[in-house]
Structures are given as C-alpha cells and as structure tokens.
Structure 1
C-alpha cells in the first residue's frame, strides 16, 4: 500500500473526548464490538481488578461477519456498557491505559479509510462533541491535504480503477460544492444534485464514467443562475411521502435510545394522523416557518450533509444513486424532527446539535433503519432518483 496523501476536514485535529462530561456516552445505546485480537487478550487478562469483570462481561459474537466484531461487551439494564464505572468512565482504560482498548473503542468517533493512494479521516456526528465541531462552523466545512500519517488502528481499504476513481472524485466534489453553494436554499441545492444523479442514472454505466466531469461542471453552473429556483419549484411536494416517512420512522420506529424515542414521539404531537393528508400538509407548512428562518440550522444541516458525503460516499461501496437516496432520506427525517418540534424549539445551538446527534446515533448505526431506508423508495413506476427528489420540496 503506497499512501502519498492524507485528506481530512480542518475540524479533525480539534477533537478531544470530554469523557464523563459528555451528555451521551458512546458506551451506551448500541452493541460494542470487540475485535478478535482484543477479545483473546481480554480472555487472558491477569490483572485481578479486571479479570473477573472481563470474564463476566465479554462474550463471543457468534453472528459476527468480520473479526472486528468477534466479541461484544455485555450491556447493563440501562443499555450501558458493563465496563463503565459510576462516573461513566471505562474501567479498562482506567486500569490498563488507552492501549488496552479494543479497536472500536480506540477509533470512535474517528473514521479512516484509504482510497487508492490517499487516506481520508473524518468524525461521526453520533458523538456530541464531534457533532459540535462539525455542525456549528458558520463558514462551512473545509478540507486540508497533508503529508500522510497512517492511523495506529486498522482502516478500510478501497481500490478503484482509474476510470472509477475519476468518476468518484467528480461526483463527490460536485456534491460537496453544490451543498456549499449558499446562493440558494439548501432544498434547491439538493434538487440540483438530484437532477445530476438522475441524468447519470439514465446513462449506461460505462457512459457515466465518460460524461461525469462535464455534467458535474454543467449542473454546478446551474446554481449560478438565479432562475434555477423557478425550475425547482415546479417539482411538486409529495405530502403522502412526508406523512408515510413521519409515521414509519418517527412514530412506529422503536430505537434503543430513549432520547430518540422521546424526541420522535413529541414530533407533530398536535397532529391527528388519522386525518387527511391535506390536514397533515397544512400542519407541516404551519410549523415550517421557524425552520426556514433559522440561519444556524440551515448551516448545521449543510455541514451535516457535507460531512456525510465526505465520510460515507464511495463508489466501491455504494453507487451515487443509492447514496443520494440515503442522503435525502436522512435529510428529510432530520428536517421533520425539527419542523415537527418547531413550536417548542428555539433552534439554539444546543437543540440543533442534540437533535442531529441523537438521530445519527439511533438511526445511522442501526441496520434495521438502513435496510428500511433502502425499501422506502419504490421503483415500480418511477426511477429511484425521481422518487427521492420528490421528498425534498415541502
């Protein structure tokens, strides 16, 4: 592996874990996988302060599909890792140091992957402190290329052909540039990205590689046209989709996080979902005013989407059509959380960070959610991208 450059957001090196001061410990609310090497080390632990705890609270994960999840920690009756002490600090780290932590606990909320000759690093918005760094930058997320420093932990490696690599870079640079084009509302930017993806969807795969660079420049230029807003307003809102999304993911979806379930249950709590779609649409529009007027929120949502695109989009893992569906579904659900609580929110930094962080932790790391996202867009009548675009306007 010949790594010649490192690419990361400028916020990356500013992150520091705040430990027991964190409002939502990373050691609760989800399964914590233990890599095979650490699992075997824990099984041989001789320190009397740790040995019995590890024997009782570490188990083999027989359903694991990789060595990174070879084992797992037992969760207590509050869904917290059983290795936490009363101050929510890790007993393993306190007793044996950071080097004794398993792979998952060492890297989180950091993420690293290599794509051909570069390594890329980012942070995850499911961590409150990382979310603050990502979401609250008023100038938007910027990136820096530096001399490579390989992380001390393992990271995903992706190899792409020259054609595929050029296609990937053209797509991702276009999406990030369009998302940060603040001349237009965020919804307009997302629709233009959707029109670009729809154009690619109509081409044969081999032709996409050839035309991506030219098309990305063409669609980015559309955002310089003040009249582009007129085009996007022709895309009519689909309130049936919005209502179904609200019911399925915010009212019927049960997460492990009590914080998420409480937030979701309060969303549109004054709405009778047994009434007509027109009644729901009117409530949506009534609540939307504060959402539209909050500049802090619009910047935070832009930063969230840019970070997600940088960290998660990768053609060797998921093509741009599937990624765009995930991007818009996430955006739509977060927007519904904010609009549906607009009569209670003041849209402070604290409310913005908490809402996006709770969503990220409860949904994006939940395989049930991910699988349902893939099913929610039917392809029977229209293309996947066409129906995804219909989620944007409200």
Structure 2
C-alpha cells in the first residue's frame, strides 16, 4: 500500500468518534451517498442474514454524476429521516454486522475532508460534528499544523485540488498561494488585534495583491506580502483602518433581510437547532418594526451582550479557531479558483451569520455563553455552510447591498 504525506491540523491526531455518547448523530437528515465499489460489494453478498440492499434501504442515485454518488441510503422510510442502518444503541448495523470494509466512503470519512495542494494531501475536520467542533474550537494555543505520513486509502480521493507550480502559473495568483495562505493565517492568529481588524486586514492585503496582478507586477507580490504582514505585526493601533467607517443601520437591515430569507431558503438538511436559532432571530426583528427602535435595541444587544463574548479570551479563541480551520479547509484564498475576493466575502459572511444568529439568544438572556457559540457553529456548519444554495444566497445579498467592497466588508463584520 502506497504512503502519502499529508498536512493536517495538530488536533486531528486527538480526534476519535465518540459514537453513541455523542449529543448528535451524523446518521440523520444528510444525503448519504454510496460509492459504486461499496454498492457492488452489497450486490455480491450471498445468504447473509443482514443485507444492506434489503427493503430498499440503499437505492441507485438517479442523479449520480460520478462513481462516488452511485447510490444513496434511503432516509424516506421514516419520518425522522434517520439512517435505516442506525440501531437502537445509535450504532451502525453495517459496521456491526459486516465490518468497516462494507461501510461507504461517506461514512468512513466523515467528519474528515480531503483535498490536495499540488501532490500533497490535506486533511481537516468539519465542525458539523460536535466532537470535531470541540477539537477545532478549543485549541487553546491556536490551530497549528504538522506533516504526517499515512497509508493511501481510496476514500482519500480529493474533492478539491489546487496547483501552485509550473511555468503556466507564472502569471497566475495561484503561484502565490502558499505565501498568501501563510500570511493570512498569521494575521488571523494575531491576538494583539481584534477579530474584525484581522479580517479587514485580509481585505487590505488581497486588494494589494489583486492590484499588483492587474498591473502585471508579479515580481513585487512576495515582497508586498512580507511587508504588509510585518506592518500588521508591529501595529500599535488600528490606524490602517482609519479611512473605513461602518453603517450600523445598513448592517441591521441586511441582518434582518438575510435571516428572514434563511427561513425560506431550500435547506433539505435543516435541523431543528438551526430552525430554533433562525426563528428566534426572526422574532427579534418582527417585534421591532419601528426603525429607530430596531437600531437602538440592535446596537444595545451587540454592544452589551454579544461583543463582550467576542472580546473575551475564550470567545476570541473560539472564533479565531473557527476562521483558521475554515480558511485551511476551503483552500482559501482560492475557494473560488479565480476570485480571491469572493473567498474573503464567504469567510466574512459566515462570521456575520454566526454573530447575527446570536441575536436570537441574546434577546432573552443577559449574555452569550461559550455553549451558545458552540451550538450555533455546529448548526451553521451542519445545515448551511456545506450547502451551495446558502452561499449563492449570501453572496447575492451582500453584492445587492453593495457590501462587496473593503468598506462594505468592514460594515458587514463590525457589529
């Protein structure tokens, strides 16, 4: 079996599934795809008391686009959308009766995600899994990375890949992927400045890099990145942001419009928790139709209940780790291969949504607790961030409100 070198967050080595003791189940509400090789294994099973294909528990996927989604596990046999192979002890009957080799790639890998940068594998965890979220959010010294060596498995086949080498990339921003990535994570982990400033500094850096690319001054990009990171590291104040200002009223109205829209957006995997957070936040806005009253109470809750959590050591650590993990997971700054700026809008948009959903909790409580933040992150990841409709909706709203500029991003996140 061939060996692979992989870049991973250090938390990965401490992660193990806690099975039936987990407060959530990864076997509910998801579209669980079954790869062709595993499906064929099921077809070859003979005279077995336990057969996965019995009673249409696994059906061929009529919308399949590759061998990876050749079939799907049928969740329509019960109202609660539980996987039909989940037993009363919340354990997998396929694993129990047939062993790991008969589990589909989806179930073998979750909550891990795989991607490649050139020929090097990268593995990270998604925070939709509560145990994964604990490893991600509660890394006290920040998320650090290490190289490991592991045996190649078929299920490691990547979903995302980026190339950074080769002559044809000499005039392509991807050539500077590593320098931009390292600089960005360095800025995101700079605990001498607040989270809003860190995200805004990413915007300033990306504008500088994009300007040099547009001017075809490719040879200046590396020096500009080094110079900017050095400037940020030695800042004594936020003077770099003096030219920016936020529009609180615009921010509150955008928050209202986006959250109201989330109620209607097509989210097949929307769990009960995200519905509670969305509906509670909608209730905040519906009870405050008067514009002045809305703005006053919005600002009061942000200033006195939500911001203190984000300014605390624990809150700042948790949101930093969430952002760094997402940055690594999504191959930023090229989540959208040809658009660094859109990748940043998505990162800032997620931050905005998480903070906005805190309104629904804060309106009825004296403060935000770490458990509140933890629950929102898990629910947003489980029901929103893996959904392409959500990101299309989010980006469309930000662009319609003309907040897809540096000043707009500052307005979006500075609440």
**Fold similarity call, TM over 0.5:** yes
Instruction: Give the drift of 1:150.
Output: 3.4
Q: 2:255 aligns with which of 215, 236, 245?
A: 245
Contact 2:11-2:139 within 8 A present in 1 as well: no
Which has the larger displacement, 311-320 or 286-295? 311-320
The equivalences for 1:80-229 within 5 A come to 80-147=82-149, 149-151=151-153, 153-156=155-158, 157-162=161-166, 163=170, 164-204=173-213, 207=216, 209-223=218-232, 224-228=234-238
Which has the larger displacement, 270-279 or 127-136? 270-279
Instruction: Give the drift of 1:311.
Output: 0.9
Q: Aligned in 2, Cα 1:242/1:30: closer, same or farther, shift over 3 Å?
A: farther
Residue 312 of structure 1 corresponds to 330
The equivalences for 1:243-282 within 5 A come to 243-249=253-259, 252-253=263-264, 255=267, 256-267=270-281, 269-272=283-286, 275-282=289-296
CA distance, structure 2, for counterparts of residue 370 and residue 113 of structure 1: 20
CA distance, structure 1, for counterparts of residue 200 and residue 6 of structure 2: 31
Instruction: Give the drift of 1:358.
Output: 0.8
Instruction: Give the drift of 1:45.
Output: 3.0
Q: Aligned in 2, Cα 1:40/1:281: closer, same or farther, shift over 3 Å?
A: farther
Contact 1:242-1:391 within 8 A present in 2 as well: no
Which has the larger displacement, 74-83 or 234-243? 234-243
SS at match of 1:240: helix
Contact 1:20-1:87 within 8 A present in 2 as well: yes
Residue 358 of structure 2 corresponds to 338
Q: Aligned in 2, Cα 1:61/1:277: closer, same or farther, shift over 3 Å?
A: farther
TM-score by length of 2: 0.85
1:64 and 2:64 correspond? yes
Instruction: Give the drift of 1:313.
Output: 2.2
Q: Aligned in 2, Cα 1:93/1:229: closer, same or farther, shift over 3 Å?
A: farther
Instruction: Give the drift of 1:248.
Output: 2.6
The count of corresponding residues between Structure 1 and Structure 2 is 393
SS at match of 1:121: strand
- Any stretches of 5+ residues in structure 1 without a counterpart? none
Which has the larger displacement, 201-210 or 17-26? 201-210
Residue 42 of structure 1 corresponds to 42
CA distance, structure 2, for counterparts of residue 195 and residue 34 of structure 1: 43
Q: Aligned in 2, Cα 1:347/1:133: closer, same or farther, shift over 3 Å?
A: farther
TM-score by length of 1: 0.89
Instruction: Indicate the RMSD between aligned Cα atoms, in angstroms.
Output: 2.8
Contact 1:49-1:95 within 8 A present in 2 as well: no
CA distance, structure 1, for counterparts of residue 397 and residue 241 of structure 2: 26
Instruction: Give the drift of 1:55.
Output: 4.6
Contact 1:246-1:333 within 8 A present in 2 as well: no
